[in-house]
Chain A
């Protein structure tokens, strides 16, 4: 159970909200429509493919739900999702294929 006083709880909520907004606003607010140098643009083009695979990789290989042990159903679902997404270029098809694989294997492997 949470031990913090209401003051501390509100301090955390407000400071965390303000800090998150600051991070989100940082470049967008301060740089605005001034042109970024080409080398910066070249790096920023890869932000999505640089962040998202790394963000999910630990959850794919070491899922919390199994206490960090690699799980065949989750691993297979991740591979199917990425494969279908790559070859069809269709996000929804990839989600459906991945979720189908996950539930199918969780059910089959019990």
Chain B
């Protein structure tokens, strides 16, 4: 793998990003449908998906807009839902931080759950990759994901019909995320971190604005780091 070219890494990213089409299409359509039914016009719906490009935050903002919540509350709540992006940014910095400024701008814009999940797993797997390969992989992984989000939103906004409940699309995200994270559970430290994440996220689910998940994630990261130092004492 040491001589993987940037182009080859790009295509690995594209291939591994492809399964997300099954996630992005229904979710994007759902946003288009719901936002249109809530009364947003086509330009507003599309701007949401292109400017914000964050499904969970978009649905949160939309739900609060329908409830006629104050603008400040809408912004604070939806941004709190997106706080995990700052963690993604920190986690990708050791891998992508050396990229030129304009590339980091695009990397940041496209930093969605799927981009982070795919690349953090791939970068751990391919230790030998340098910056060029990592950047190539990242944009490859984005290629099937982001355009799908835009076009699915557009399609949903134009079609404007409720999605059949039998598809159980609410569960597409959990399945895809579990499928991604399970193969990454390579060490006892990873497993301990995942366990703490689940238990605390459930125990703290009562906290507002998704703060419970943030607390759970920070505790889980500390757990992983702690188990790692216990198992591998410094030489």
Interface residues of A (CB under 8 A from B): 1-4, 6, 8-17, 19-21, 23-29, 31-34, 36, 39-65, 73-74, 77-78, 81-86, 88-92, 94-95, 98-99, 102-103, 106
A33 to chain B, nearest CB (A): 4
Output the residue of B109, B171, B216, B220 with the most chain A CB within 10 A. B171
Q: In the complex, what distance in Å separates the CA atom of A34 from the CA atom of B228?
A: 24
B117 to chain A, nearest CB (A): 6
Chain B residues with Cβ under 8 A from A3's Cβ?
68
B42 to chain A, nearest CB (A): 13
- Interchain Cβ contacts under 8 Å between A and B, 11 examples: A1-B38, A10-B47, A21-B109, A26-B86, A44-B221, A51-B87, A52-B113, A53-B181, A85-B182, A92-B179, A95-B176
Q: In the complex, what distance in Å separates the CA atom of A25 from the CA atom of B120?
A: 16
Q: Are A94 and B178 in contact (CB under 8 A)?
A: yes
Interface residues of B (CB under 8 A from A): 16, 19, 22, 38-40, 44, 47-48, 51-54, 57, 61, 65-66, 68, 71, 74-75, 78-79, 82-94, 96-98, 101, 104-105, 107-109, 111, 113, 116-117, 120-121, 124, 165-166, 168, 170-171, 173-185, 189-190, 193-198, 200-202, 205, 213, 216-218, 220-225, 228-229
* Given A25-B108, A53-B201, A95-B176, A46 contacting B181 (CB threshold 8 A): no
Chain B residues with Cβ under 8 A from A33's Cβ?
97-98
Apart from A17-B52, A27-B97, A29-B101, list 20 A-B contacts with CB within 8 A: A2-B66, A4-B68, A10-B47, A25-B105, A27-B93, A31-B90, A31-B93, A32-B93, A46-B190, A48-B184, A51-B213, A52-B113, A56-B174, A57-B198, A65-B170, A82-B179, A85-B179, A86-B185, A95-B175, A99-B175
